[in-house]
């Protein structure tokens, strides 16, 4: 009675974490750094707008979003990534999402055919990876190809190490930039090479860019910038969200932008099973995408915490300042052992890197030496947690 395709997935990283720590009392007042849930206050406007527009809960929301929402999204894309006016046509190149996870999962259903390269299609993803990617691949019956990433390659997949035979089998390629969990950002040159390969071998780039507004010094580029330089959106979908940008993960609001034919197919599939954002969400999201001031203030708070992390962790556990995102990816030798020790002795809950990684045929998991910390609390809690981490480890 159950779909056997999901059996190989096992449990989610967070279910595994609960199992690991179950029955172990925390050694101090708990500090939760395992979940990438923003803790900064959402902009005041959100609650006010939702209240003002509450009558829209009584109406079915439009599949394509409101015109105001699409205009706000297109305007933000143009400002943030210096896209030429008109490159993103709001009525043809955009589709609203109930957060990026919904879109990333559903996109694989849209773009993966029954066969590719004479056999079962493949979907590539970095290893470690966001667990929604693997779930999406399992739902289609495609083969998941896990590409190990290392610090030496800026935690990005080595595109030149992939054979033409494997490219021929590939239907889609997940890339996360800035990356979860490592925070590394793809360059324009990297994106250009990936897009070129996608067009050469006929697969779709699924660019998860939901952390693009949380960065340290240099704004991460988007795959859309590479497309704009060539005036060509073929083979590309880019995913964005307000969850991290505006500290509203519960709003469940994002969008996908890209090739017109892909967006059209996406829209068709979504009419059967998508969760359309309600009208008040569209209204609040429109205001958030039209405002950049709250994002700058949010980014400054994260920079302050990375300054503190650098003072405390510099020279320890392979610490580096990530290009973007709000995670620390620390090499502690044995991530599972360190996670257990931190909880038992200090009440600090982190996520073992092994739970985000996939073992290769030799039993090697590239995430095994690491722990992931979400630096989402205020500066005082963050400083206290990182100091205790050093004391324990």
Closest alpha carbon to 141 in 266, 247, 8, 324: 8
Instruction: Give the pLDDT confidence score for residue 183 in this predicted structure.
Output: 97
Rounded to whole angstroms, how far apart are CA atoms 166 and 283? 44
Nearest partner of 71 among 292, 283, 235, 297, judged by Cα: 283
Q: Identify the pLDDT of residue 273.
A: 83
Q: Where are the domains of the chain?
A: 4-41+294-392, 46-292
Report residue 286 as tokens.
Answer: 């429109």
Least confident of 5-14, 202-211, 341-350: 5-14
Arithmetic mean of pLDDT over the chain: 96
What does the alpha-carbon distance between residue 89 and residue 253 come to, in Å, rounded to a whole number?
Answer: 20
Q: Which CATH architecture has domain 46-292?
A: 3-Layer(aba) Sandwich (3.40)
Taking 80 as the threshold, does the pLDDT of residue 142 lie above it? Answer: yes
CATH classification of 4-41+294-392 is 2.60.40.3880, yes or no? no
**Neighbouring C-alpha atoms within 13 Å toward the C-beta of 240:** 25
Q: What is the pLDDT of residue 7?
A: 80
What pLDDT sits at residue 329? 98
Q: Please write the tens of the pLDDT for every residue from 305-345.
A: 999 999 999 999 999 999 999 999 999 999 999 999 999 99
pLDDT of amino acid 180: 96
């Amino acid at each position: 009675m159950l779909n056997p395709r999901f059996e190989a997935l096992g449990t989610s990283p967070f279910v595994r974490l609960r199992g690991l720590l179950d029955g172990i009392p925390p050694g101090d007042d708990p500090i939760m750094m395992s979940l990438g849930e923003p803790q900064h206050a959402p902009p005041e406007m959100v609650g006010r707008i939702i209240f003002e527009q509450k009558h829209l809960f009584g109406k079915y929301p439009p599949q394509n979003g409101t015109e105001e929402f699409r205009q706000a999204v297109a305007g933000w894309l143009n400002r943030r990534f210096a896209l030429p006016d008109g490159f993103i046509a709001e009525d043809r190149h955009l589709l609203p999402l109930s957060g990026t996870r919904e879109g990333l999962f559903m996109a694989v259903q849209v773009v993966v055919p029954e066969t590719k390269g004479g056999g079962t299609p493949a979907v590539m993803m970095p290893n470690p990876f966001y667990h929604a990617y693997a779930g999406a691949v399992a739902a289609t019956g495609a083969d998941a190809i896990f590409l190990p990433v290392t610090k030496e390659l800026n935690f990005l997949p080595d595109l030149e190490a992939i054979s033409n035979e494997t490219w021929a089998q590939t239907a889609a390629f997940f890339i996360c930039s800035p990356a979860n969990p490592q925070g590394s950002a793809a360059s324009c040159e990297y994106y250009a090479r990936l897009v070129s390969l996608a067009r050469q071998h006929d697969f779709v780039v699924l660019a998860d860019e939901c952390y693009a507004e949380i960065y340290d010094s240099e704004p991460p580029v988007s795959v859309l910038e590479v497309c704009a330089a060539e005036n060509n959106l073929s083979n590309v979908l880019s995913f964005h969200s307000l969850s991290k940008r505006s500290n509203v993960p519960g709003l469940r609001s994002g969008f996908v932008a890209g090739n017109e034919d892909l967006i059209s197919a996406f829209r068709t599939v979504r009419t059967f099973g998508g969760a359309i954002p309600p009208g008040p969400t569209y209204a609040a999201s429109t205001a958030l995408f039209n405002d950049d001031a709250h994002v700058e203030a949010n980014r400054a708070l994260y920079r302050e915490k990375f300054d503190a992390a650098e003072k405390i962790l510099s020279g320890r556990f392979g610490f580096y300042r990530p290009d973007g995102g709000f995670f620390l990816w620390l090499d502690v030798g044995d991530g599972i052992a360190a996670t257990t020790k931190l909880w038992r002795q200090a009440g600090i809950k982190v996520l073992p890197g092994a739970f985000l990684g996939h073992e290769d045929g030799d039993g090697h998991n590239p995430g095994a030496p690491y722990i992931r910390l979400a630096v989402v609390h205020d500066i005082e809690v963050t400083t206290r947690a990182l100091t205790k981490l050093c004391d324990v480890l």
